Amino acid sequence: MIHNIPLVIRKMIFLAAAFLCMFSFMDAPKALALGFLLSVFVQHPFRQYTGRLTHYLLQFSVVGLGFGMNLHEALKVGREGFLFTVCSIFFTLLVGIFIGKVLHNDRKTSALISSGTAICGGSAIAAISPIIKADENEISVALACVFILNSIALFLFPAVGQWLNMSQHQFGLWAAVAIHDTSSVVGAAGKFGNEALQIATTVKLERALWIIPVSFIFALIYKREGQRKIKIPYFIFLFVLAILLSNYIPFLDQVSPYVNVVAKKGLVLTLFLIGANLSIEAVRKVGAKVLVQGVLLWLLISVASLSVILGFA
């Protein structure tokens, strides 16, 4: 880490790096790596502001991607992936909790990692944590574990997909099932191709809706007084609305491609901010057994879903 860099210089470097994310040569994996390197060697000068910005920028980008999607294709993908989604979510939850018990990991941390792997990474962890009354340390460890694996997947999955000569349809489905966070799913699928991006986004957001029933299940398991409300990912409904508007309002045909381009750039910037928010300290917080649980569960769902997709999709 470079010490004693004046704050104004660090701010200029950070803003210049963020500006680079607007160019075509900067894709999601590169942006993530750039953000992390900046965090390690220069230190993030806007850390107290970018957490909320990242949250809203990701939602804006996902909604914007809806303007580039065909409604009939989205419905077809949703129908085809429904049974696969249900089976994979509950399989991942059950196996994840079982692995946590075998490794004697903290019960709540294990539940957070399992739900984050099964549904949609950080969003699922954020939704489940108040229901099971997880403390700040348990939440941060689960988030750090999921984010590390997300970062690896962003680089690894497109390479594996090309090596296996996967079709756009196959890769989009695989990314949506086996990568945790929506940001990394869309980033990896976007690198693979536009068709993969549309399929991955649709299936991933369909999976994200399962936060609601899974939250109710955890509420029954961890029944306590004074539980907070379940956090519903409302932006998913805006994504559906964007698809409907772009397909049924004629003049939006002229605007939708530009909105879609802006949304893709917004996603690249989101990955840059996510990388910049990760610190070495956060990585160190992840204990060996917790990381083993996260890796084993991620490898299991990745390999199992890949086998099913290559065999039947």
Please, which residues have CB within 8 angstroms of residue 305's CB and are 6 or more apart in sequence?
84, 88, 174, 177, 178
What pLDDT sits at residue 74? Answer: 65
* Longest Cα–Cα distance in the chain: 58
**68 secondary structure, DSSP code:** G
**Chain CA centroid to CA 13, Å:** 27
What pLDDT sits at residue 30? Answer: 80
What pLDDT sits at residue 157? Answer: 95
CA distance 7 to 300: 44
**Chain CA centroid to CA 24, Å:** 22
- 28 sits in the region (left: phi over 0; alpha: psi -120 to 50; else beta) called alpha
What's the angle, vertex CA 19, arms to CA 15 and CA 20, rounded to 5? 120
By the 8 A CB rule, do 244 and 1 touch? no
CA distance 278 to 284: 11
What pLDDT sits at residue 136? Answer: 61
pLDDT by residue for the chain (313 residues), tens digit each?
A: 555 778 888 888 889 988 998 888 887 778 878 888 888 888 788 877 777 787 788 778 878 877 877 776 666 766 666 778 888 888 999 999 999 999 988 888 889 899 989 887 777 877 787 778 777 667 767 877 888 888 889 889 999 999 999 999 999 999 999 998 888 898 899 889 888 988 888 888 788 778 778 877 887 777 654 455 556 667 778 877 887 888 788 777 778 888 878 888 887 888 788 778 777 776 676 678 888 999 999 999 999 999 989 887 5
What pLDDT sits at residue 3? Answer: 54
What pLDDT sits at residue 137? Answer: 67
295 CB burial (10 A radius; 0-12, 13-18, 19+): middle
Instruction: Report helix, strand or coil for 166.
Output: coil
Dig out the tokens for 45 from the structure: 């000068």
CA distance 161 to 171: 6
pTM exceeds 0.85: no
